[in-house]
Amino acid sequence: MENQSDHAFSDTERAAVYRTIFNRRDVRGQFLPDPVPDDVLARILLAAHHAPSVGFMQPWNFLLVRSPEVKQRVRDLFAKAHAEAAMMFPEGKRDTYSQLKLEGIVESPINLCITCDRERTGPVVIGRTHIKTMDLYSSVCAVQNLWLAARAEGLGVGWVSIFNQPELQKVLGIPANIVPIAYLCIGHVSHFHDKPELETAGWLPRLPIADLLYFDQWGQTDGERRDSLTTTLTALQDDIQQRGIFPA
């Protein structure tokens, strides 16, 4: 009979996974022009393709953008939407928003648009019969897989979402029935920040995980089990924020 520990990774392997998760950053302004080797790019794309998907429908496509002309057209779309977005925030936040670096479209050597084909395996999909958006969520899993694999490879990734979606589809030639899920900037970077830039800039704090945890019913937080687990979670989150890595 197999022991439960037979299914666990080694301490070193497990620590590497957690370190990758806690050191992942949304990169905007630190991209270097150095090319990304094809073998590295192939590994992170394959990691994305091995994401979980509802009904195993694998609804994603990967549109690589290397052309400076196409990047500039996408950057122009961002600039237009960025100006519109600034006006949506109250004055106190508007100034801060305008000073934030929110993309690295032109600076990064690779741009990647991950899409979702909602019709890939037909109208009836296992697991999507009642929650129709599960295919969109599956595509987001592909984004996360790629992001973590890229971080493990020493690459930075920045997710740009400030676009008018139909305009982005037009610039990239994406058919109307295909949904752009994520426009990503990918490349080597000069450095990774210790904390997310929006946290450092004071835009929003990281929420205490203990405040987000319920048991059995929404809003139910009392009980001995809650006290034990949240104490452990709080101590762990504090340690992660102070050290920037998962403790050995």
- β-bridge mates for residue 158, sequence order: 185
Which residues, including other chains, have CB under 8 Å from residue 217's CB and lie 6 or more apart?
A: none
Per-residue pLDDT of 148-175, as tens digits, reads: 999 999 999 999 999 999 999 999 999 9
Tokens representing 14 are 């497990």
Helices vs strands, H then E, count in the chain = 8, 4
- Give the integer Cα–Cα distance in Å for 74 and 167: 9
Per-residue pLDDT of 130-142, as tens digits, reads: 999 999 999 999 9
Confirm or reject CATH 3.40.109.10 for domain 10-204, answering yes or no.
Answer: yes
Report residue 187: phi and psi, to 5°: 175, 175
- Give the integer Cα–Cα distance in Å for 243 and 194: 9
Task: Delimit the domains of the chain by residue range.
Answer: 10-204, 206-248
What pLDDT, on the 0 to 100 scale, is given for residue 244? Answer: 62
Residue 245 has pLDDT above 70, yes or no: no
Which of 70, 197, 62, 75 lies closest to 143, judged by CA? Answer: 62
What pLDDT, on the 0 to 100 scale, is given for residue 223? Answer: 66
Q: What is the pTM of this model?
A: 0.92
- Reported as a pLDDT band with limits 50, 70 and 90, residue 240 is confident
What pLDDT, on the 0 to 100 scale, is given for residue 224? Answer: 62
Percent of the chain with pLDDT over 90: 75
- Give the integer Cα–Cα distance in Å for 51 and 141: 6
What pLDDT, on the 0 to 100 scale, is given for residue 154? Answer: 97
Per-residue pLDDT of 42-86, as tens digits, reads: 999 999 999 999 999 999 999 999 999 999 999 999 999 999 999
Which of 37, 167, 157 lies closest to 108, judged by CA? Answer: 157
* Burial letters 221-241, b for 16+ CB under 10 A, else e: eeeeeeeeebeeeeeebeebe
- Helices 68-86 and 91-99: angle between axes, nearest 10 degrees: 160
Per-residue pLDDT of 206-232, as tens digits, reads: 888 888 888 888 988 876 656 788 888
- Give the integer Cα–Cα distance in Å for 180 and 178: 7
- Give the integer Cα–Cα distance in Å for 107 and 88: 27
Give the Cβ contact number of residue 134 at 10 Å.
Answer: 19
